[in-house]
């Protein structure tokens, strides 16, 4: 009897602690969502109650004055291209490295793992110089190219791990029947790699979409801002307009939340993949 009671008290305590942490994660988002429907003056007075004068004004401000749709479009274009580029080049490189033996293979593999040690800070100044010399500043491609390179090494390591583990029989059969290497790659390898490709896609996309540093440096023209740069500008220029800030945060969080609800298993796996592999 005694032990059973003890266990129950223990379980209740566990739930209390877990729920408390859950509240710290949920509360900030609920708070900001709630306040995005209030005029700023009301946010300052009573941010905890439900909106008294319910308004869409903050959202119409965000769309009309802040060009948030354009920023979304730029961000999706950048991150979409980065994702496709990383998936393509990483799987190609991983295929080459696992299916061919060649001189310098060790060097290439070393290059890949060593480049994981370069923080973006250590390459960004020369990349910025190149982009300005090539006349690419303020263009999406100036963000896309370094971000592909930045994600490529890690993505290749993930793909090598998978490609090295799948049996060669299917490829062999297709190759013997006269398919060329590129057909084998496109028709057999890529479909087999779906799971690891989706891991690669998820971390490349989120990493690129959430990054502020590179887009802040490469894109200086405010009419061409992607979403993170726009948010930063709203924060520094309209820092007193609480309603607008709340609406801006909500507009960033809600689409991610929707995607997260549907793909959470893949997203969690994608983002923690590197750590688990060690």
Answer yes or no: are the C-beta atoms of 199 and 270 closer than 8 Å: yes
In the complex with another protein, which residue's Cβ is closer, 67 or 232?
Answer: 232
Answer yes or no: are the C-beta atoms of 226 and 215 closer than 8 Å: yes
In the complex with another protein, which residue's Cβ is closer, 10 or 54?
Answer: 10
Answer yes or no: are the C-beta atoms of 208 and 151 closer than 8 Å: yes
- Distance between CA atoms of residues 84 and 75, nearest Å: 14
Q: Least distance in Å: CB of 26 to another protein? A: 6
How far are the Cα atoms of 71, 102, 166, 170 from residue 105, in angstroms, in the given order? 42, 6, 20, 24
Length of the chain: 278
Q: Least distance in Å: CB of 56 to another protein? A: 19
Q: Least distance in Å: CB of 101 to another protein? A: 5
Q: Least distance in Å: CB of 205 to another protein? A: 10
- Distance between CA atoms of residues 91 and 202, nearest Å: 15
In the complex with another protein, which residue's Cβ is closer, 204 or 228?
Answer: 228
In the complex with another protein, which residue's Cβ is closer, 56 or 129?
Answer: 129
- Distance between CA atoms of residues 180 and 85, nearest Å: 23
Q: Helix 227-237 and helix 242-277: axis angle, to 10°? A: 140
In the complex with another protein, which residue's Cβ is closer, 158 or 252?
Answer: 252
Q: Which of 25, 52, 51, 23 is nearest to 36 (CA)?
A: 51
* Torsion, Cα of 5, 8, 14, 17 (10° steps): -80
Q: Least distance in Å: CB of 180 to another protein? A: 8
Q: Least distance in Å: CB of 64 to another protein? A: 20
In the complex with another protein, which residue's Cβ is closer, 57 or 92?
Answer: 92
């Amino acid at each position: 009897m005694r032990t059973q009671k003890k266990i129950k008290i223990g379980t209740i305590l566990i739930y209390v602690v877990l729920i408390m942490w859950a509240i710290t994660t949920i509360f900030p988002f609920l708070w900001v969502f709630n306040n995005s429907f209030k005029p700023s003056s009301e946010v300052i007075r009573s941010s905890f109650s439900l909106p008294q004068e319910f308004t869409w004004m903050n959202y119409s401000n965000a769309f009309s004055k802040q060009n948030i749709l354009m920023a979304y479009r730029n961000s999706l274009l950048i991150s979409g291209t980065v994702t496709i580029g990383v998936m393509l080049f990483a799987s190609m490189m991983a295929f080459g490295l696992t299916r061919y033996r060649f001189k310098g293979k060790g060097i290439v593999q070393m290059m890949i793992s060593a480049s994981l040690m370069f923080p973006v800070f250590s390459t960004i100044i020369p990349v910025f110089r190149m982009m300005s010399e090539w006349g690419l500043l303020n263009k999406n491609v100036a963000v896309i190219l370094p971000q592909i390179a930045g994600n490529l090494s890690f993505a290749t390591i993930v793909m090598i791990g998978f490609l090295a583990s799948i049996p060669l029989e299917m490829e062999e059969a297709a190759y013997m029947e006269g398919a060329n290497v590129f057909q084998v790659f496109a028709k057999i390898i890529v479909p087999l790699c779906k799971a690891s490709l989706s891991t690669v896609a998820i971390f490349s996309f989120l990493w690129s979409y959430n990054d502020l540093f590179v887009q802040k440096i490469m894109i200086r023209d405010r009419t061409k801002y992607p979403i993170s740069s726009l948010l930063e500008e709203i924060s520094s220029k309209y820092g007193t307009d609480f309603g607008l800030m709340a609406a801006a945060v909500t507009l960033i969080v809600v689409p991610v939340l929707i995607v997260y609800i549907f793909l959470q298993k893949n997203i969690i796996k994608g983002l923690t993949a590197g750590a688990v592999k060690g």
